[in-house]
Amino acid sequence: MLIGYRNAQLRKTCEDHGRASKRLPDERHVRDFFRRLDQLHALPTLADVPPEKPFRRHKLKGKRKNQWAISIRGAWRICVQPADPYELTEQGSIDLATVTSIIIVDVDDYWDESHGTSADTTSF
């Protein structure tokens, strides 16, 4: 998939090991984060990201509607949203098999208020 970023700061952090090391809790998280990014680049569509471990792709709700979380390690996730163009299913939901480009909107432990919450999507 093609990967874009919500903003320049997030892009720099996702592309620089040193910046990611300052944000993520430890070196294991950093290693798994960059491994997951490489895997996302290699997959053709968002539908190809497995909902099972270790990816655990799942749809988010509330203020993160139309976003999906992908596990890094522990409670840390990469939160993404589809980039245009994509198709909708007959039920009106996003057809993940047509999502070939994503935007990383956040990378955090969104359950830990010291890092951000589902209401705070500017934590990374």
Return d(Cα 75, Cα 123) in angstroms, integer. Answer: 15
Amino acid (1-letter code) at residue 107: V
Confidence of residue 89 (pLDDT cuts 50, 70, 90): very high
Any idea where the domains of the chain sit in the sequence? Answer: 2-108
Residue written as token pair 């990967």 = 3
Superfamily of domain 2-108: RelE-like (3.30.2310.20)
Residue ranges of E strands in the chain:
2-5, 58-59, 68-73, 76-82, 101-108
Confidence of residue 111 (pLDDT cuts 50, 70, 90): confident
pTM of the model: 0.88
Return d(Cα 18, Cα 15) in angstroms, integer. Answer: 9
- For residue 121, what pLDDT is reported? 40
pLDDT at 123 over 90: no
